[in-house]
Amino acid sequence: MQEQKTNKDKKEFDGFLPFYTNAFDRVFISVVILIGIHLLWLRFMEPALPIEAATVISLVIAYYVVRRG
């Protein structure tokens, strides 16, 4: 009988993200989020708060995604 291989068998990380990830995936997702937040910040938030705030928020989210994602 053919063995059915699931994603869990690959020993990928099972964090809060809706799919299994490895370290590269989590770093990639963090970079994508970082760029996205900065672009949205430039468009909507910059008159109220400087861009450095977006960097701080992005880095906090990136840390959380890399550790727990």
Partner 1 sequence: MRNNPRIGWLLLSPTLLILLVFGFVPFLYVLFVGFNEWNIFAAEEGLRFSGLDNYRRLVFDEDFTTSVQLTLKFATFAILSELILGFLLAQMLTRKFPGKWFFRIIHTFPLMVAPIAVGAIWRLLVIPGFGPVPFFLDRWFDIKYQIGSYPDQALWTSVIMDVWHWTPFVTLTMLAGLSSIPREPVEQAKVDGANRLQVFWYVTLPFLRPVLLTTVFIRIMDAIRTVDEVWMLAGGGPGTRFTGIYIWRVVFPRTDYGYGSSISLITLYLTIVLCWLLFIAISGRRKGEVE
Smaller CB separation from partner 1, 19 or 63: 19
Looking up tokens 């994603």, which residue turns up? Answer: 7
Nearer to partner 1, 49 or 51 (CB): 51
Residues that bind partner 1 (CB under 8 A): 4-7, 14, 18-20, 28, 32, 35-36, 38-39, 42-43, 46, 51
Task: Please check whether residue 25 is in contact with residue 14, taking contact to mean a CB–CB distance below 8 angstroms.
Answer: no
The dihedral through the CA atoms of 27, 29, 33, 35 has a sign that is positive
Rounded to the nearest whole angstrom, what is the least distance from the CB of residue 29 to partner 1 in the complex?
8
d(CA 9, CA 27): 22
Comparison of 31 and 60: residue with beta carbon closer to partner 1: 31
